[in-house]
Structure 1
Amino acid sequence: MAYEGRTFPPTEPYQVGREKIREFAEAIGVTDAAYHDPAAAQALGHPDVIAPPTFPIVITMPATRLISDDPGLNFDYARMVHGDQRFAYVRPIRAGDELVCVTMIEKLTSRAGLDSIALRADIATTAGEPVVTTWSKLVARGEA
């Protein structure tokens, strides 16, 4: 089965909540008031708290795991490391958003005993409003 260029179905909707944003911000050590305090976020023009720039990982990881677990792809998640990550925002993720993620395999490569998958994930509201696109590269050591 050809995987390069394959697009996977949208994920189940993810409800972005204030507490999830706060927990994520605390876990990564960011203290910007807009991540923790609705009034501070509103003072910046947002309707509620906003998520730190790397928050889309929470939404893309389940989709990534489904792809890497596909037996036809033969990608060993246990041997995987995260090789790269980029984000292109249309607008910040906000508490109250209901988001879905559509993931595509952009490129597959094998080189020097390493297999890599380049992924693109388009995250949008359930109403179809684009929010952020992410690109990531997963790298796995080949069999010993």
Structure 2
Amino acid sequence: MPITPDHAGKVYAPTAPYEVTRVKLAEFAAAVGEPDLLEEAHPAAPPTFAAVVTNAAWDSLFTDPELDLSLRRVVHADQQFRYARPLRAGDVVTATLRIDKVRVRGAAEIVSVTVDVDDALGSPVLSAASTFLHTREAVA
């Protein structure tokens, strides 16, 4: 059964804890072409580093057999991050995905999700809202 508007409100289990380390931050900064992006005294993650953490939560959405989504047919249409505080080296965080809204338009499904990222104490760090466009195979 493909994803439908009835799936709105579905919440997945939190991801395994992820430790933000100086090494991971440095690798990310180098990968985006900004090796000097990190502050030595207080290494805060670049704002887009949140995508590293939220991707694990997206896996639960894209591998859910109930939704019948094919990652090769998905376009990441929109992304917004809302920070309660910066991610920093030493943080251990989990990410929990919620399906906010599903709109079906012919062979296309527009799926809006939010991933809430919390620290080891359960305090909010950030929320990442994403919109995905998924298309179905044409039926002959």
Instruction: Give the C-alpha shift of residue 116 in structure 1.
Output: 2.0
- 1:83-138 Cα distance to aligned partner (Å, 9 max, x none): 10000011110000000111100011121432121110110101112111110011
Alignment partner of 1:115 out of 109, 127, 130? 109
- 1:37-70 Cα distance to aligned partner (Å, 9 max, x none): 423xxxxxxxx31111111111111211221111
Identify the residue that residue 82 of structure 1 maps to in structure 2: 76
TM-score (norm 2): 0.88
Identify the residue that residue 14 of structure 1 maps to in structure 2: 18
What stretches of structure 1 of length at least 5 have no aligned partner? 40-47
SS of alignment partner, residue 47 of structure 2 = coil
Aligned length: 134
TM-score (norm 1): 0.86
Alignment partner of 1:38 out of 12, 20, 40? 40
Q: How does 1:37-56 map to 2 (within 5 A)?
A: 37-39=39-41, 48-56=42-50
What stretches of structure 2 of length at least 5 have no aligned partner? none
Identify the residue that residue 91 of structure 2 maps to in structure 1: 97
Which structure is higher in RCO with an 8 Å CA cutoff and minimum separation 6?
2
Distance 1:143 1:68 in 2: 16
Asked if residue 138 in structure 1 is aligned to residue 140 in structure 2, the reply is no
Question: Once superposed, what is the RMSD of the aligned Cα atoms?
Answer: 1.6
Distance 2:73 2:97 in 1: 21
Identify the residue that residue 44 of structure 1 maps to in structure 2: none
Identity, in percent, stands at 37
Distance 1:137 1:77 in 2: 14
Distance 1:31 1:64 in 2: 27
Distance 1:3 1:30 in 2: 39
User: What amino acid maps onto 2:40 in structure 1?
Assistant: P
